[in-house]
Amino acid sequence: MNAIQHLKKVFMFGIGVKRWILLLLGGITMTALGLALGLLKFFLVTETPIAFGIIEILVIFAAGISLVIMAVVGLSGTLLAPYRRHQPGSIVDAVYSHSRRQKGIKVVAIGGGTGLPASLRGLKSVTNNITAVVTVADDGGSSGRLRREMGVLPPGDLRNNIAALADDESLMTRLFQYRFSTGDLNGHAFGNLFISALSGVTGSLETALIETERVLNIQGRVLPSTMTDVNLAAEIYLPSENRTVTVEGESSISDIGGQIQRIWLMPEKVAAYQGAVRAILDADLIVIGPGSLYTSIIPNLLVREITEALRATNAYKVYVCNIAQQPGETDDYTAAEHVFALERHIGRGVFQAVIANNVYLSGEGENRNTRYVLPAPEHHEILQRYDVYYTDLIDIQRPWRHDPEKLGRAIMTLSESERKRVALIKPALAVS
């Protein structure tokens, strides 16, 4: 469509644009007239005095400015209306909020499952520059069925984190998270079907994710850690039988009920998704977790290029420890055991700080079966290697999970403290 056709549409009857343009032209004319009369009044020396007094000139100028403001606000509202039907608040508030988030720091959050969305929800009010890097090793539930039947990468963890970056109250977000409870689709989440179908239509998961993010208008990106079809395997010690077994399949690992010694990917050497690598290298802040330690977090870090990028980046890196122990994965783990498990698989020095909860509610109601992850013992060696920050992270309604707002504040507090510390160190290094 050429420019003339676009112009004809703008000036069509009933579109609501012409009135604001005319008002704007009138306001500009009155403003220019007031300014011209003022200049003539004060700077042009003539025998014939200007008929307008100072008060009249100021009134003309002020009226012109007022009309310009009214026209700009009205025109903006008309032009932006189709893009903000579900955006609450005024246009000014929406633009200010969007501008502030666009200038926010670049964050990468690594994990999967139902844990990582807490980090994303806590950070999306601060910045739009969020990239979630998510595991694709899931083989259970709806994701596992789609993986086996359609040959697609499991969409469940991707779906959960896309929804976390979208508007929680949006009808589209609720639809995306809707799970069928009857018929052949029983157990499937609509979002899983949507992503899988888009992968088939577009020919790639990458394009499907871009289109899904556009539909939900999310604040950030969600990327797989790898595009390779991978499975998870684990070596598990069974104390009751005094033997070690090997288990294949992410959904089977926590069902064994033993002590996980190590996990690995099958195949072990897989290429990282390069978009995820670039995001890590370009980040200001990297958040690892929360989530299932062995089945959501570590699988991402077993992709060699992901861990190499984490070591190479200049970003501040924080590990978020789970609030509750996870049966079959982290029974009797303290915060120290979580860190040791990460070190066993990826070595030391990948992250600098640990955030952990230090509030434990009494065992009542739904909380009665919650077993909390306790702090590392005093003078423990991990306290010498990492900055460990304890604070209240509990969601009062679901005390085994993180409260997104509390977690977001804790992450940003640590990040801002680190930036101030670096800002003080750099001048000192330059002088020395």
In this structure, how many other beta carbons lie within 10 angstroms of the beta carbon of residue 187? Answer: 13
Question: Would you call the peptide bond into 82 cis, given omega within 30 degrees of 0 as the criterion?
Answer: no
**pLDDT at position 421, please?**
82
DSSP states of 283-347: -SEEEE-SS-IIIIIHHHHTSHHHHHHHHH--SEEEEE--SB--TTTSTT--HHHHHHHHHHHH-
Which residues, other chains included, contact 255 with Cβ-Cβ below 8 Å and sequence gap of 6+? 328
The reply to whether omega before 404 is within 30° of 0 (cis) is no
* pTM for the model: 0.77
Task: Give tens-digit pLDDT for 197-228.
Answer: 999 898 888 899 999 988 888 889 999 999 99
Number of domains in the chain: 1
For 83-97, the pLDDT digits (tens) are 554 455 555 545 544
pLDDT at 51 over 70: no
- Is 60 domain-assigned? yes
Q: Is residue 38 part of a domain?
A: yes
Q: Which amino acid is at 266?
A: M
Quote the distance between the C-alpha of residue 303 and its chain's center. 21
> pLDDT-based confidence at 102, cuts 50/70/90?
low
258 has pLDDT over 80: yes
Dist. CA 36–CA 31, nearest whole Å:
9
Q: What is the tens place of the pLDDT at every residue in 36-50? A: 888 877 776 555 566
pLDDT given for residue 291 in this prediction:
93
- Closest C-alpha to 369, from 325, 333, 405, 407: 325
79 within a domain of the structure (yes/no): yes
The CA-CA-CA angle for residues 362, 364, 370, to 5°, reads 70
pLDDT value, residue 264: 96
Query: CA-CA distance, 90 to 81, in Å (whole number)?
Result: 11
pLDDT tens-digit series, residues 20-39: 788 888 889 988 888 888 88
- Residue 245 lies inside a defined structural domain of this protein: no
The residues with which 316 forms a beta bridge, in sequence order, are 285
Share of the chain above pLDDT 90, in %: 51
Torsion of CA 270, 276, 282, 286, to 10 degrees: -100
In a domain, 340, yes or no: no
Does residue 290 lie within any of the structural domains? no
Interacting residues of 15 by C-beta distance below 8 A, sequence separation 6+: 9, 78
Is the pLDDT higher at 337 or at 46? 337
Residue 387 belongs to a domain: no
Q: Is the pLDDT of residue 254 over 80?
A: yes
From CA 294, how far away is CA 28, in angstroms rounded?
65
Q: What's the pLDDT band for 366 if we cut at 50, 70, 90?
A: low
List, for residues 54-92, the tens digit of each pLDDT value: 888 888 888 888 888 888 888 777 766 655 544 555 555
Least confident of 118-127, 137-146, 292-301: 137-146
Q: Which two tokens stand for residue 411?
A: 């992450």
What span, in angstroms and rounded, lies between the C-alpha atoms of 282 and 276?
Answer: 10
**Residue of 401, 297, 395, 404 whose CA lies nearest to 351:** 297
What H or E segment, with its residue span, contains residue 246? Answer: strand 243-248
Check residue 96 and give its pLDDT.
45
The H-or-E segment that residue 235 falls in is strand 231-238
Please state, rounded to an integer, the average pLDDT across all residues of the chain: 85
Pinpoint the alpha helices (H) of 141-242: 141-150, 156-165, 171-177, 190-202, 205-216
Q: Is pLDDT at 186 greater than 70 in this prediction?
A: yes
Using one digit for the tens of pLDDT, what is the confidence trace for 125-180? 889 899 999 999 988 888 888 888 888 889 999 999 999 998 876 888 888 899 99
Residue tagged 């139902």 (tokens):
114
**Does residue 182 carry a pLDDT above 70?**
yes
Among the ranges given (3-17, 86-100, 184-198), the one the predictor scored with the smallest mean pLDDT: 86-100
Quickly state the pLDDT bin for 424 (edges 50, 70, 90): low
Residue 47: domain span:
3-83
What tokens appear for 138 in the block? 């899931």
Residue 207: both structure tokens together: 């394009």
pLDDT of residue 429 exceeding 50, the answer is: no
Q: What is the mean pLDDT of residues 173-199?
A: 90
CA dihedral 385, 386, 389, 394 (to 10 degrees): -110
Compute the average pLDDT of residues 172-193. 89
Is residue 47 one of the residues assigned to a domain?
A: yes
pLDDT of residue 265: 96
On the CB side of 127, CA atoms within 13 Å amount to 22
